[in-house]
Structure 1
Amino acid sequence: MTSPSELTPITAVTAADPYPWYADLVRNRPFGWDEGLGMWVAASAEAVTAVLGEPALRVRPPAEPVPAGIVGTPAGDVFGHLVRMTDGPAQQRYKRAVRAALGHPRTEEITGLAAERTTRALKHSGPPPLRELMFSVPARVVAALCGLDDEAADEAGRLIADFVQCIPASATPEQQAAAARAAAALQGLLTPYLDEHGTGVLGKLIRAARRDGSPAVAHEDVAPLLANGVGLLSQTYDATAGLIGNTLVALATGVAEAPREPGRWRALAREVARFDAPVQNTRRFAAAPVTVAGAEVPEGASVLVVLAAANRDPAANAAPDEFRDDRSDAAIFTFGAAAHRCPGEEVAVAIAAAVVAELLAQGFDPASLRRPVSYLPLANARIPVL
């Protein structure tokens, strides 16, 4: 186990309790250069807000908008159109379409789909398949929201597990090749549902893009929209898995209590997203020299944005180390901010809340989870191994 004195902003992601270390980072090094990582680190709510709102700090290195290992493959084609991986006017145009499409599914619809898929996963005998509930069920729910039938939704849930392997910088050639195959299959799977007459999110996506006057869609080039259909599934995968898992850990350790009122589950999941963020950090890359928190960040520099530390900054949230699911004005950086704030925030929270609520309703006791909890060896996502 890593001792607190040995933690870095990367190793803290999988530490048993990184939050005292994050608190020290916020107090004493809210923004600065980390020699060991070779990048700038933003930790305080003020610094994180400034970095996420700075147009010169991009989501990808300007010289490598698509990872070299997937350029020219179906995975690269998808990656290059994702609104979470691009900047500029086109990104904002397509993001408005994504936001408009996601704004339509009712919470009751999402909750019903998640509960039904959870029940289906629990039907076999033996211990609950927690990994399936964390990873596969949310992807199937989003696929169903996109309009896919049950068989296609199940296939999408399997394929997205391979596609997301191309996103981390640590992806191996084998993972990138598997991601390319998965991207091609996902494009083929989703294409029939990208129909302006469709009732699912993909149908709403193409209608929203056409209302917004997207020139690409006007010329029938739907590749960016198809890519962002894949993106909806990929963003669901790790982040929602972490939110479900960390909610179960909060219940298991007594940090949180199961709500007595069904309508309070979403508030609990939202507080977990702040208190024990499933996405602990993200990165930005300077396309030009920029000043952040009084420091001069040169062109070409990288910035690690510690979202989980900002969530616990007392300047942003009162009594930040207390778990309080009755916060009405919580500042939650987990879902990003400004141009790249996650458009699927409400969907992720609703899915996580419904999966955990249904699991407990069917008799699962979170206290049965093994201790101590360990986490998948990831650089930015905090996902417990349950």
Structure 2
Amino acid sequence: MTQPLSATLSTAATHPDPYPFYADLVANQPFGYDTGSGLWVAAGAAAVSEVLAHPACRVRPSTEPVPRGILGTPAGDVFGELVRMTDGAPQVRRKQVLLQALSTITEEQVVALAAEQAGKATDWTDLQFGVPVRVVATVLGLGGNIPAEAARLIGEFVRCVPPSATAEDQAAAAAAAARLLDLLGPYLRAGSGGLMGELVRLAARDDRPKTAPLLANVIGLLSQTYDATAGLVGNTLLALARHGQPDDLAAFVAEVVRHDAPIQNTRRSVVTATTITGHEVPAGSAILLLLAAANRDPMANPDPHAFRPGRADPQVFTFGRGAHRCPGRAMAAAITIGAVAAVTGAPSHEGYRPSPNARIPVLKGQLG
């Protein structure tokens, strides 16, 4: 990867092998400013850890908490309530409710549901994208054809999330969000069973029964499942083709999360001037955190480029850390375990889907 740094950063997540590039950054520029992209770049594990924990580093710019292109639309209404896209006390409280509700779902339940849905998958793309969302929709307590429709709509909604989203992406997301709100709202208001009913119960217990934040974060849970789990399923299948069937599939999947991260990077916005790893970072700066690079920092994981399931105390940044650590990380792993165990045959691999941050292989061939 001999392009300028800014160009390389924009394509690293979908490059056939970005890891030598990441290793060079970790060794020589673990944190620094890139003039080409206008971004501060955190690659080393220490730098990524510091940014993720720093109170001045927020998930959204203070001047634009919701992207302008979806402000005032249903997609903007959902976006503004998501725990993954907000900071502060309300975010902490909502995340606590979400984590408490998720704790009522066992890994065994999710694995079994994923295996059942994988048996109905129509092709590799459906296995990667459709199965995870249908599993989460089923766990939420949605019935009938709603899980399948929710899977389709989430694919449209997530188009508004990347900073590179176009006006067309934002319009599609707004339409999808409106339909999702109509589709899921009655279930939430009825206090149905499943995870959605548990969310309603916990919110009412804590005297936070407002529907809008709950409904937005139901959509958020579905959307977080989408790209991240699609990448994890695909990267696990590729790792199985390279390394063979393991004795411990759960440990194998956990090492895929570290070694070939489905989410390669994320961003933070600096709201007040601060110092990070000795560098003065001005207010308003944007920081690109190379999570996949930090996973392979030898200061965090010995012999980091070796694929070694069952590592003792691995340091993994893929799902974030601190206040914004992904609440669905255990569910993503369980879905992957169930899905890949239920299929036979190995897909062919034809590059990666275009994305600024997700590493999702394009799989071809007969699904068995």
The normalised TM-score by structure 1 is 0.91
Cα 1:131/1:106, change in 2 over 3 Å: same
Runs of 4+ in 1 over 4 A off after TM superposition: 2-7
Instruction: Report the CA distance between 1:230 and its aligned residue.
Output: 0.3
- Which residue of the partner structure matches residue 270 of structure 1? 254
Aligned-partner SS, 2:306: coil
- Other-structure match for 1:380: 357
Larger displacement relative to structure 2 (8-17 or 71-80) = 8-17
Equivalent-residue separation in structure 2 for 1:240 and 1:17 (angstroms): 20
Match of 1:279 in 2: 263
Q: What is the distance in 2 between the residues matched to 1:323 and 1:195? A: 46
1:329 partner amino acid? D
Partner residue, 1:337? 321
Q: Is the 8 A contact 1:4 1:18 kept in 2?
A: no
Instruction: Give 3-state SS (helix, strand or coil) of 2:118's partner.
Output: helix
Amino acid across the alignment from 1:369 = S
Deviation at 1:38, TM superposition (A): 0.6
Contact 2:160/2:170, CA 8 A, preserved across alignment: yes
Partner residue, 1:171: 165
1:243 maps to which residue? 232
Q: Is the 8 A contact 2:255 2:307 kept in 1?
A: yes
* 1:244 alignment partner AA: V
Counterpart of 1:61?
61
Q: CA deviation at 1:197?
A: 4.6
- The Cα RMSD (Å) is 1.5
TM-score under structure 2 length normalisation: 0.95
| 1:126 equivalent in structure 2 | none
- Is 1:81 the counterpart of 2:88 in the alignment? no
SS in 2 for 1:120: coil
SS of the residue aligned with 1:17? coil
- Deviation track 1:113-161 (CA, whole Å, cap 9, x = no partner) reads 1011110125xxxxxx111100111000000010001411111111111
Distance 1:4 1:301 in 2: 24
Alignment partner of 1:308 is 2:287: no
Is 1:203 matched up with 2:197?
Answer: yes
- In 1, Cα distance between the equivalents of 2:233 and 2:83? 24
Query: In the alignment, is the contact (CA less than 8 A) between 1:144 and 1:150 conserved in 2?
Result: no
- Letter of the aligned partner of 2:301 in structure 1? N
Secondary structure at 2:145's aligned position in 1? helix
- Count residues in correspondence: 362
| 2:23/2:296 contact within 8 Å kept | yes
Q: Matched residues in 1 for 2:303 and 2:184: separation?
A: 45
In the TM superposition, 1:33-182 aligns within 5 A as: 33-122=33-122, 129-182=123-176
1:196 and 1:206 in contact (8 A); partners too: no
For 1:195 and 1:257, the matched residues in 2 are separated by: 47
The SS at the match of 2:132 is: helix
Percent identity over the alignment?
A: 54
Of 245, 250, 254, which residue of structure 2 is paired with 1:258? 245
CA positional deviation for 1:206:
1.9
| Residue ranges of structure 1 left out of the alignment (5+ in a row) | 123-128
Structure 2 gaps of 5+ residues are: 364-368
